[in-house]
Amino acid sequence: MKQYMQIMFTSISHELRTPINAITNSLSCMRTYVNSAGLFYLDICDSSSAFLLSLVNDTLDFAQLQAGKFKMNFEPVNVRQIIGEVYQLINVQLRLKTGVFLV
């Protein structure tokens, strides 16, 4: 059963990763055609697709963990950048739902 779950999660992960990578690459190509106001939203889309890709990768990690094949990699993170990206996402959602814009 564990082997079947590993294959299933790997397949699902691959099927989700491909369109997310297409979105990320398309966003990258759009940067030269978007004005400075549009870059704000393009950055939000880019960070959102990166977040979605990390969720897919976490799903694959979970499958590897269950199969006993999980390997941990430690990497430095930029906490200020992460907080800034979360702030942008929350700010856009707040603005769309309530009309309030955080400064």
User: 86 and 53, same structural domain?
Assistant: no
Query: Cα(38)–Cα(40) distance, rounded to whole angstroms?
Result: 5
Instruction: Give tens-digit pLDDT for 27-42.
Output: 999 988 989 888 988 9
User: Span 68-85, mean pLDDT?
Assistant: 88
d(CA 21, CA 19): 5
| Domain boundaries, position 92 | 77-103
* Residues 46 and 6 both lie in one domain: yes
Q: What's the structural domain count of the chain?
A: 2
- pLDDT, average across residues 8-19: 75
Q: pTM for the whole thing? A: 0.60
Q: What's the CA gap between 17 and 3, in Å, rounded?
A: 21
